[in-house]
């Protein structure tokens, strides 16, 4: 086993929870609470439909107009001052209190806003705007009974007030009465079958209560009323994604982009869906658009770089990661990615520099140390590799993978007892650590201490009965020695249940079948393993052995030569060359 696993660490959580398109219902209703005042329609200098004072009060009316003008200009404090002056001359006018309430809401002064709104409602109990504002303010502070009472007043004023009904239903939902919320919205859409928002918010309530099929039906109803209703399309897309129906999710997101092609957040989310379904080319296409149009979307650019890396477009990945390295404050992860990419481009000195720059406080520090050690080992400098690992242990003394890798390095340096000592010492502190027991078993195997290896692997399986690598290791080891073959097959099949597409385990099953004398069955498994990992020398050598056994010299030699191409260790190369020479001598 190669302990130096240079792995891409995705900057996203693959177990994403279902996220609703919008925030909670009542939050939506609060939007604009401070500036959503209905503008008065002036009918001439003598009379305003929203201003019941006739011309004799021209001075107060002028102050009202000035306050209104200042509010529209965003001069909140000046507007408040002007309205208060008007109020001094006409303290019984509810509209002035309402305007002040709205301005204080704009400032975020909820206490003062509520006081003025309640005074407006007291002077004019049928002031819909006052009650709506009172309800919004109470909802913003999770005061559900007060908010419910205010929205009920709105509905009393106008039983068909859609905004008030939806607001009331949202309060029922927020206060834990989802059935009441559903009933309220059902009544709304029954009374008004063309209520776009009635169906939409009904879908929202169903979503919140995890009744997703009913939610989809409600959202679809809203789309029947308006096929371009983006909020419903987004909600439908997210539900399909959450339910695992990637195709329908993609269709919904693509509909949104037909309506709103410049919606970069939707493009980025669509890319995530493509990533989850393994469609890297389409994810790449969407992320390119997002990255080009929004260079500050670092997440999209990083995703794009990871796709380039995964699809072996290493020069493109290097450009993306290097560009990000200049732009983002968090450098460690990018140093890691650039290091991996430079290693793939055979720029090992540069790769080492980037791995060395990773801070010990970073969550990729251990991976950086492993990658650095691997590069030194690759160049044949085992002492430098050891130093890299020991430096890592100074900062992460209990890092299992570094300890395992250090033991492996000692084996390469022919310091077997040091390898055993490192792992046994670590196991004294962590006697139930699977990683350390597995590494110790591998060390004993390299030292030809078979019984000890078996003991360690059985210990791993005892700790974790689904440890596919230990199951496979022990089963394959039995097959190699030609012992316990029935148990070997059981172990390997158990491993294959855990990792059904693992090429190494598939090869092990084929090999144990060969050892059991089931050549044709074994050959099929070996061929499948070669499809899964076409450049793995051990699998290719096994295929050569089978064809040699079947006395097909041509095919045997072909597989041995292929295996030789990908073999790195000298003793393995010598063994394969000897097999080729034996075929040539016949």
Ranges 10-24, 49-63, 369-383: which has the least confidence:
10-24
pLDDT of residue 476 exceeding 70, the answer is yes
pLDDT at residue 276 in the model: 86
Residue 337's closest CA among 6, 4, 3, 5? Answer: 6
Q: Give the torsion sign (CA, 440, 446, 447, 448).
A: positive
Residue 369 contacts by C-beta under 8 Å, 6 or more apart in sequence? Answer: 355, 388, 389, 391, 392, 396, 399, 402
Residue 399's closest CA among 373, 365, 432, 431? Answer: 365
pLDDT at residue 456 in the model: 97
Residue 211's closest CA among 220, 224, 202? Answer: 202
- Mean pLDDT over 51-62 rounds to 50
- Mean pLDDT over 158-174 rounds to 93
- Mean pLDDT over 404-424 rounds to 94
Cα separations (Å) of 113 from 101, 131, 418, 485?
4, 12, 74, 81
pLDDT at residue 280 in the model: 93
pLDDT of residue 26 exceeding 50, the answer is no
Element housing 538 (H / E): helix 537-549
- DSSP state letter for 51: B
- Tokens matching residue 184: 């309220």
Tell me if residue 42 falls in helix, strand or coil. strand
The answer to whether residues 267 and 286 touch, using CB atoms and an 8 Å cutoff, is yes
- For residue 237, which phi and psi values (nearest 5 degrees)? -60, -45
Per-residue burial over 298-324, b if 16 or more Cβ lie within 10 Å, else e, is bebbbbbbbbbbeeebbebbbebbbeb
- Segment 346-371, tens digit of pLDDT: 999 999 999 999 999 999 999 999 99
Query: pLDDT-based confidence at 59, cuts 50/70/90?
Result: low
Query: pLDDT-based confidence at 40, cuts 50/70/90?
Result: very low
Burial of 39 (0-12, 13-18, 19+ CB in 10 A): exposed
Round to whole Å and give the CA distance between 255 and 240: 14
Round to whole Å and give the CA distance between 569 and 553: 25
pLDDT of residue 47 exceeding 80, the answer is no
The answer to whether residues 140 and 30 touch, using CB atoms and an 8 Å cutoff, is yes
Ranges 8-12, 329-333, 446-450, 464-468: which has the least confidence:
8-12
- Segment 199-221, tens digit of pLDDT: 999 999 999 999 999 999 999 99
pLDDT of residue 424 exceeding 90, the answer is yes
Q: In 3-state terms, the chain is what percent helix, strand and coil (to 5)?
A: 75, 0, 25
pLDDT at residue 60 in the model: 63
- Tokens matching residue 424: 């046994």
Report CA Rg, the chain: 35
- Tokens matching residue 187: 């009544």
CB atoms within 10 A of CB 270: 26
DSSP per residue over 402-432, as a string? HHHHHHHHHHHTT-HHHHHHHHHHHHHH-TT
pLDDT at residue 461 in the model: 97
Query: pLDDT-based confidence at 139, cuts 50/70/90?
Result: very high
Residue 259's closest CA among 276, 242, 237, 244? Answer: 237
Long-range CB contact pairs, 73-81, < 8 A, 24+? 76/103, 76/106, 76/107, 79/103, 80/104
- Tokens matching residue 547: 């064809």
pLDDT at residue 61 in the model: 67
Residue 350's closest CA among 363, 362, 337? Answer: 337
CA-based max dimension of the chain = 123
Of residues 85 and 376, the one with the higher pLDDT is: 376
């Amino acid at each position: 086993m190669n302990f130096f696993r240079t792995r891409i660490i995705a900057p996203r959580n693959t177990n994403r929870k279902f996220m609703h398109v919008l925030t909670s219902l009542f939050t939506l209703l609060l939007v604009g609470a401070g500036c959503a005042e209905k503008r008065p329609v002036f009918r001439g200098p003598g009379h305003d439909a929203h201003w019941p004072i006739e011309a004799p009060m021209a001075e107060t009316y002028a102050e009202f107009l000035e306050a209104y003008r200042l509010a529209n200009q965003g001069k909140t404090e000046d507007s408040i001052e002007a309205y208060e002056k008007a109020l001094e001359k006409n303290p019984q006018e509810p509209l002035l209190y309402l305007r002040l309430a709205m301005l204080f809401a704009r400032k975020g002064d909820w206490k003062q806003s509520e006081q003025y709104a309640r005074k407006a409602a007291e002077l004019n109990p049928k002031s819909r705007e006052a009650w709506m504002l009172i309800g919004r303010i109470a909802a913003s502070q999770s005061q559900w009974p007060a908010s419910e009472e205010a929205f009920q007043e709105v509905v009393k004023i106008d039983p068909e007030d859609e905004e008030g009904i939806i607001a009331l239903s949202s309060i029922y939902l927020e206060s834990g009465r989802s059935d009441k919320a559903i009933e309220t919205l059902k009544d709304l859409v029954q009374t008004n079958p063309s209520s776009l928002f009635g169906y939409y918010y009904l879908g929202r309530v169903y979503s919140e209560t995890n009744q997703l099929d009913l939610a989809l039906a409600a959202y679809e109803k809203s789309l029947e009323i308006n096929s371009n209703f983006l909020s419903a399309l987004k909600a439908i897309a997210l539900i399909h994604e959450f339910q695992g129906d990637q195709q329908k999710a993609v269709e919904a997101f693509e509909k949104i982009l037909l309506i709103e092609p410049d919606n970069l957040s939707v493009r980025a989310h669509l890319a995530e869906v493509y990533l989850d379904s393994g469609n890297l080319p389409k994810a790449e296409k969407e992320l390119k658009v997002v990255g080009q149009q929004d260079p500050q979307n670092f997440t999209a650019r990083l995703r794009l770089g990871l796709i380039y890396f995964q699809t072996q477009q290493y020069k493109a990945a290097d450009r993306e990661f290097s560009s990000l390295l200049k732009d983002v404050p968090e450098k460690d992860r990018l140093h890691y990615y650039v290091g991996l990419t430079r290693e793939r481009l055979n720029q090992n000195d540069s790769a080492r520099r980037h791995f060395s720059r990773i801070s010990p406080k970073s969550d990729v520090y251990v991976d950086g140390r492993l990658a650095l050690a691997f590069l030194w080992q690759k160049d044949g400098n085992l002492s430098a590799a050891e130093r890299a690992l020991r430096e890592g242990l100074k900062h992460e003394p209990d890092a299992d993978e570094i300890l395992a890798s250090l033991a492996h390095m000692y084996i390469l340096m022919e310091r077997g007892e040091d390898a055993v000592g490192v792992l046994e010492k670590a196991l004294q502190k962590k006697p139930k650590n699977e990683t350390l027991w597995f590494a110790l078993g591998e060390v004993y195997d390299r030292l030809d201490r078979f019984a000890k290896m078996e003991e360690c692997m059985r210990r791993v399986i005892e700790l974790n009965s689904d440890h596919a690598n230990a199951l496979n290791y022990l089963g394959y080891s039995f097959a190699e020695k030609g012992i316990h073959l029935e148990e070997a097959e059981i172990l390997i099949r158990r491993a294959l249940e855990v990792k059904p597409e693992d090429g190494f385990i598939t090869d092990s099953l084929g090999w144990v079948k060969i050892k059991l004398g089931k050549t044709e069955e074994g050959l099929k498994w070996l061929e499948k393993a070669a499809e899964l990992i076409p450049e793995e020398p051990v699998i290719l050598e096994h295929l050569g052995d089978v064809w040699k056994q079947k006395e097909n010299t041509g095919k045997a030699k072909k597989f041995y030569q292929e295996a030789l191409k990908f073999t790195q260790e000298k003793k393995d190369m010598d063994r394969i060359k000897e097999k080729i020479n034996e075929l040539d001598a016949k």
